[in-house]
Structure 1
Amino acid sequence: MTPAALIFDKDGTLFDFHATWGGWSRGLIEAEAGGDSALARRIAVALGYDMEAGRFAPDSIVIAATAGDIADRMLPFLPGTDRATLIARMNERAAQAPQVPAVPLGPLFADLAARGLALGLVTNDSEGPARVHLEVSGLASTFGFVAGADSGHGAKPGPGQLIACAKAFGLAPEACAMIGDSLHDLHAARAAGMTAIAVLTGLAPYATLAPHADLVLEDIGALPKWLDDLAITKA
């Protein structure tokens, strides 16, 4: 069935994960370590981040974590630091991170919108930084629904964000497809009763994602062809 709505993850899906967050994460860790290189390395290890390479390990907590999850992993190394204050600092820095699109986003979303599809975005990032990233990327008006982990619908792999998105669009979950780069995205899609589409612009490889996905694409730029193929099959 051709979906009536496409619901996207953000990091690793709209935006290339390593290119966007690799260098930024080094800056965050070094800032929180206050110039203590040994402390910075300990924090990096806890987050699954290679300071020299500027890359995250495939099993890093950061891949699909909320800001709160990441803060909780860092706090044991930062005695005296208030959790809410740390999350606020992280969100402020995240909002300023230059986003590197996984594909040219303007033409792609113009194509998808022209097909009459409802478009949503659900992320385990906080909603504030996510909206800033969409604004800077020229996508602020593209999505009819945007939710972060702090928007009141829970976080992936729970289905709350996806269910809320489908409800906002007036659609049954089975009329929607979720596109993401992590197992959290795919598990959320399954729990919500949606088509689960994986892309390979995050950290997880094909072998990890494929058993949990209805479809695996190189990137979201392949969506129009997939939709065209569905239309041909249906005809």
Structure 2
Amino acid sequence: MPVDAFLFDKDGTLFDFAATWNGWAAKMLKSLSAGDEALAQAMAHTLGFDLAAEVFRPDSFVIAGTNAEVASALCPYVPHMPEPELEQYLARNAAEADLAEAVPLAAFLDGLLERGKVLGVMTNDAEVSAVSQLERAGVLDRFAFVAGFDSGHGAKPDPAPLLAFCEHCGISPQRSAMVGDSLHDLQAGASAGMRRIGVLTGLAPREELHPHADVVLPNIGHIPDWLDQQDH
């Protein structure tokens, strides 16, 4: 069955996770800790972040987590900032992160649009961050649907936001594909009845994604070749 629509995760899929978020997280923790090294280390440990190496560990919940989950985890360390305020702080700061495109996005997305594909984004990040980052990358207008965990459809691995995309675009889940770098993405895709494409621009290795995906690709740039193979 052909794939008429692609729903992309954002971090680790459209944007390389490590190149975008490792440096941002280090700066964010140093800012929140106000120079208190022990406090920064405690927050980093909670998030599954190696502060010395400035890298997220592969088992960090942040990789597929929501801003609300991150704010809840950090709140005990930031008593001067109520949790809702901390969540907004994280969203505002994430919106300004230095973005590392997994591939040149404009050309890649235009190629899919030229094939008549419908495109969307569903991220467990906040919607405001997603819209801001896609706008800064100059590709927001390529997407018919952009949702975050706070857009009213729920968060992955719940299939509800994926089904909302299909309904919004008028395309059945069976003719759509979820593209992502984490098990949350692939599990949501399976529950929604969509095709599942794993990519290796996040932190999950191929062997973790493979059992849950129809195909695992090095990055989204390989999707056109995959489509050509489906046509034969």
How does the TM-score come out when normalised to structure 2? 0.98
Aligned to 2:30: 30
* Deviation per residue, 1:69-126 (Å, 9 max, x gap): 0011111222243011001111111111111001111111111000000101000000
Q: Secondary structure at the match of 2:141?
A: coil
List, as ranges, runs of 4+ consecutive aligned residues in structure 1 with deviation greater than 6 Å: none
**Corresponding residue number in structure 2 for 1:220:** 220
Paired residue for 1:172?
A: 172
How many residue pairs get matched? 232
* Partner residue in 1 for 2:163: 163
Partner of residue 132, structure 1: 132
Aligned to 1:52: 52
Aligned runs of 1:86-235 on 2, under 5 Å?
A: 86-232=86-232
Q: Which residue of 1 aligns with 2:66?
A: 66
Partner of 1:3: 3
Whole-Å Cα distance in 2 between the matches of residues 68 and 145 of structure 1?
22
Separation of aligned partners in 2, 1:87 and 1:189: 27
- Structure-2 separation of matches of 1:73 and 1:207: 29
Q: In structure 1, give the amino acid aligned to 2:60.
A: S
Q: Deviations over 1:203-227 (max 9, x none)?
A: 0001111111111000000000001
RMSD: 0.8
Structure 2 residue ranges without an equivalent (≥5): none
Which 10-residue stretch deviates more, 106-115 or 71-80?
Answer: 71-80
AA aligned to 2:112 is L
**In the aligned structure 2, how far is the partner of 1:53 from the partner of 1:231?**
44
- Any gaps of 5 or more consecutive residues in structure 1? none
Q: C-alpha separation between the residues in 2 aligned to 1:78 and 1:103? A: 36
Distance 2:40 2:79 in 1: 14
Q: Any idea what SS the aligned residue of 1:198 has?
A: strand
CA distance in structure 2 between the partners assigned to 1:196 and 1:132 by the alignment: 26
For 1:211 and 1:228, the matched residues in 2 are separated by 23
Percent of pairs with identical residues = 48
TM-score for the superposition, normalised by structure 1: 0.97
